[in-house]
Structure 1
Amino acid sequence: MIRHLVLFKLDDGVRRDDPRVIAGAEAFRALGSRIPELTFWECAWNISDRPIAYDFAINSAVADRDALQRYLDHPAHQAGVALWREFSTWVIADYPFEA
């Protein structure tokens, strides 16, 4: 199994109630039921207000590297990424784990 973690940081001046951000969060929330490669899916807004905190997180899992690539290439994922690219930056970590 591979864990896929993504942390998003909103650009300076961008707020969570911005319509673009709302659309981006909704697009990512829907991925769990739209992409069959995902064996686990959760995403949410961070509740921490510490200066080093990121704003939004995705925690997901797939079976293997091939499944990860299919997830990354999936049109619904690509559409969500295109939305987030407009107002944020992010970091990722992909690592193996045993279920």
Structure 2
Amino acid sequence: MIRHLVLFKLNEGVQRDEPRVIAAAEAFVKLGGLVPELEFWECAWNITDRPIAYDFAINSAVIDHDALKRYIDHPAHQAAAGQWREFATWVIADYEF
């Protein structure tokens, strides 16, 4: 199995309650039910406000490297990630477990 973790940081001046941010978060919430390769899916807003904290997190798992590629290339994933590109940066970690 491969764990796929993503942490999003909203750009300076961008707020969680903006319509585009709400829509992007909702797109990721729905993604778990749209991509068959996902064995596990959860995402949520961070509840801490420490200066080093990121704002939104995705924790997911796929069965293998091929499934990870199919997930990344999936049109629903590309559309959801594309929304975040407008107002956030992110870091990713993929590891086998």
Do the two structures share a fold, i.e. TM-score over 0.5? yes
Pairing 1:79-94 to 2, within 5 Å after superposition: 79-94=79-94
Q: Give the match for residue 58 of structure 2.
A: 58
CA distance in 2, matches of 1:11, 1:34: 27
Helix, strand or coil at the partner of 2:36: coil
Report the aligned-residue RMSD. Answer: 0.3
Q: Which runs of 5+ in 2 are unaligned?
A: none
Q: Which runs of 5+ in 1 are unaligned?
A: none
CA distance in 1, matches of 2:73, 2:28: 14
Q: Return the TM-score normalized by structure 1.
A: 0.97
Kindly provide the amino acid, as one letter, of the partner of residue 74 in structure 1. Answer: H
Is 1:31 matched up with 2:22? no
Q: Return the TM-score normalized by structure 2.
A: 0.99
Instruction: State the percentage of identical aligned residues.
Output: 77
CA distance in 1, matches of 2:53, 2:10: 11
Is 1:46 matched up with 2:40? no
Q: Give the match for residue 13 of structure 1.
A: 13
CA distance in 2, matches of 1:47, 1:23: 19
Q: Point out 4+ residue stretches in structure 1 off by more than 4 angstroms.
A: none
CA distance in 2, matches of 1:25, 1:81: 10
